A and B are shown apart, each in its own frame.
Chain A
Amino acid sequence: DIQMTQSPSSLSASVGDRVTITCRASQSISSYLNWYQQKPGKAPKLLIYAASSLQSGVPSRFSGSGSGTDFTLTISSLQPEDFATYYCQQSYSTPCTFGQGTRLEIK
Chain B
Amino acid sequence: QVQLVQSGAEVKKPGASVKVSCKASGYTFTSYYMHWVRQAPGQGLEWMGIINPSGGSTSYAQKFQGRVTMTRDTSTSTVYMELSSLRSEDTAVYYCARDLPVDAAAGSWFDPWGQGTLVTVSS
Flag whether A63 is at the interface (Cβ < 8 A).
no
A81 CB to closest chain B CB (Å) equals: 18
Q: Given B44, B109, B115, which contacts A101 in the complex, CB threshold below 8 Å?
A: B44
Which among A44, A91, A98 is the interface contact of B108 at CB below 8 angstroms?
A: A91
Complex contact A99–B110 (CB within 8 A):
no
Q: Hey, which chain A residues are within 8 Å of B11, CB to CB?
A: none
**Cα–Cα, bound, A95→B47 (Å):** 7
Determine the distance from Cα of A99 to Cα of B45 in the docked complex, in whole angstroms.
8
Residue B29, interface by CB 8 Å: no
Within 8 A of B (CB), among A53-107: 55, 87, 89, 91, 94-101
A101–B44 Cα distance when bound, in Å, is 7
Complex CA–CA separation, A87 to B109 (angstroms): 13
Kindly supply a per-residue 1/0 record for chain B positions 32-63, scoring 1 wherever the CB is within 8 Å of any chain A CB and 0 otherwise: 00010000000011110000000000010110
Residues 85-123 of B at the A interface (beta carbon under 8 Å): 95, 97, 107-116
A52 within 8 A of B: no
Judged by a CB distance under 8 angstroms, whether A46 is at the interface is: yes
- With most chain A CB atoms within 10 A of its CB, the pick from B46, B62, B107, B114 is B107
